[in-house]
Amino acid sequence: NWSKAAELQKEAVEVNRRSGKEKEIIFSLANLGTTYIQNNEPQKALETLYEAADMAFKNKDVFTETRVLSSIGYAYEET
Q: What is the pLDDT of residues 31-76, one digit of tens each?
A: 999 999 999 999 999 999 999 999 999 999 999 999 999 999 999 9
The one-character DSSP state at 61 is -
Q: What does the pLDDT read at residue 78?
A: 81
Q: What does the pLDDT read at residue 15?
A: 97
- Distance, in Å, from the CA atom of 8 to the CA atom of 42, rounded to the nearest integer, reads 18
